[in-house]
Amino acid sequence: MTDKKINAKYTVEGRVWINSENFAFTGQGKIELIEKIKVLGSLRKAASEMKMSYRQAWQNIDKMNKLSEKPLVILKRGGKDGGIAEVTEFAENVILAYKNLQTAFDIFIKEQTKKLNI
């Protein structure tokens, strides 16, 4: 017989990210941004699609690139299409690591919510 006494009023929530030298260089928003860049090949379009200001998007990418070992997105201006935004293989690894983390965290949250005793 399963225990049905679940208190749904209180839940555990939280956030996780990966840090590099005092800067959270991942986080849901940034991961999503990189993924959109990968699809669209453009920082401007990616930001626009996320309804994130271009400025903020650029700053995020710039910080991530500068504060991590290797760049995550290579931005080039000029050229045929005005410029390109290229997602590096390193970024792919980071995204994978973040997703694994997030998956584990989701499980953690569920467990802890179940354990809540208030």
**Identity of the residue numbered 51:** K
* Residue 106, binding choice from DNA, a copy of itself, none, Cβ under 5 to 8 Å by partner class: none
Report DSSP state, residue 107.
H
Angular region, 116: left φ>0, alpha ψ -120 to 50, beta rest: beta
User: Do 12 and 116 touch, CB atoms closer than 8 A?
Assistant: yes
Q: Which of residues 6-65 bind a copy of itself (CB under 8 A)?
A: 9-21, 24
Which position among 17, 23, 24, 44 is part of the footprint of DNA (CB under 7 A)?
44
Quick one: which segment of 5-13, 29-37, 54-62, 81-89 binds a copy of itself (CB under 8 A)?
Answer: 5-13
Distance CA(84)–CA(16), nearest Å, equals: 30
Angle between helices 28-40 and 89-115 (to 10 degrees): 140
97 binds a copy of itself (CB under 8 A): yes
Pick from 29, 105, 106, 114: which binds a copy of itself (CB under 8 A)? 105
Residues lying near a copy of itself in the complex (CB under 8 A) are found at: 9-21, 24, 68-69, 90, 93-94, 97, 100-101, 104-105, 108-109, 112, 115-118
